[in-house]
Amino acid sequence: MNGAKLTATAGAFIEDGVTYIPLRAVGEALGAAVGWDPDAFAVSVDMPASGAAGSAQSEDAAVTSVIEKVSPSVVAIIGNYSQSSSSWQDSYAEGMAGGTGVVIKSGGEILTNAHVVDGMNSIVVILNDGSAYSGKVKYTDEAADLAVVKIDKLGLPIVTFGDSDAIRTGDTVVAIGTPLSFSLRNSASKGIISGVNRGLSSEYALIQTDAAINFGNSGGPLVNLKGQVVGINSSKFAGVGIEGVGFSIPANTVKYVIDQFDQYGKVRRIGINATLEESWAARRGLPTKDGLKVTGASGTTGAEGLAAGDVIFSIGGVAVHSQVDCNECMKKYKSGDKPEFAIKRGGSDMKLKLTLS
């Protein structure tokens, strides 16, 4: 339908020469709102306005609805900090810093970047309605650059997280936050997904976007047109001649970290007790099929056969060409799991089952 392949698992099938297509597929293919009245056995199809102008109007209306839906769950964060605190921190004036956060639990838990609250004292969270509450850092993880701030307030509207693995380059997104000044709370900017699986100085893959992200936007949401948070804005490239190069932490990484916070109060990272070295191409972000070279192995994995000089090409059937690839792969495992490692030792290909810890 409109170039999209429908399968039986999607609910489409052919019977007695008649093709049956689910109403949902019609809506997605035509951009229409399709309704079903089970009592009257009636279908209603609300078509979008035709032509490029109609399409633009439809997207503009969707963006407006998204901002209205998500903004009540977006907060500003302000506090004092010492000059010795992280250089990542978004600063507004000498001795003051701030950023953005999103409500993830109605009982007063706010998600933001770890660098926003690093070294911050006297934290104050300002809600969408302008009311202010004292905050306290409950959890923090510098590696993922995520933290949770707790305030004493019940009944807060929470955000909904989407599946960041489903986003595509070119998807329209909206960034909401507090750029540059607290007088600009809940500012919104529209852009697109410029790229996915970007590996920079972070330990995990990032989303690249050209939606405007400035100082103070850190910790705010990157939202799709369904009103789902697909990323948490965290950084940007800035400088003369640089425009529209911002980065967000994917929602699936965020959900992983939040789950770890809830279970353990911190992120328990699974590893292989080995020191890994990226290839020259991987270190420069170039496309490569090179594996990760083991420069040293210890503990259980060393005893099980992993050794210096080995090159790891896949873990559990997933190709790994960089440290970020390896970190992303490890998110799905728990301590004690024994995935299969495809390695090269000397000139020979080998497979080892190694115990993660």
Catalytic residue (choose from 90, 118, 145, 325): 145
The β-bridge relationship of strands 96-105 and 187-198 is unpaired
- φ, ψ for residue 7, nearest 5 deg: -120, 175
Residue from 202, 218, 235, 314 carrying the catalytic annotation: 218
Computed from CA positions of residues 342, 348, 352, 354, in that sequence, does the dihedral angle turn out positive or negative? negative
Residue with tokens 């008649």: 18
Q: What are phi and psi of 336, to 5 degrees?
A: 100, -15
For the question of residue 218 being annotated catalytic, the response is yes
Provide the β-strand partners of residue 136: 150
| SS3 per-residue string spanning the chain | CCCCCCCHHHCCEEECCEEECCHHHHHHHHCCEEEEECCCCEEEEECCCCHHHHHHHHHHHHHHHHHHHHHHHEEEEEEEECCCCCCCCCEEECCEEEEEEEEEECCCEEEECHHHHCCEEEEEEECCCCCEEEEEEEEEECCCCEEEEEECCCCCCCCCECCHHHCCCCCEEEEEECCCCHHHCCEEEEEEEEEEEECCCCCCCEEEECCCCCCCCCCCEEECCCCCEEEEEEEECCCCCCCCCEEEEEHHHHHHHHHHHHHHCCCCCCCCCEEEECCHHHHCCCCCCCCEEEEEECHHHHHCCCCCCCEEEEECCEECCCHHHHHHHHCCCCCCCCCEEEEEECCEEEEEECCCC
Check 73, 90, 115, 310 and give the catalytic one.
115
Nearest to 343 by CA among 353, 352, 355: 352
| Residue 90 among the catalytic residues | no
Catalytically annotated residues = 115, 145, 218
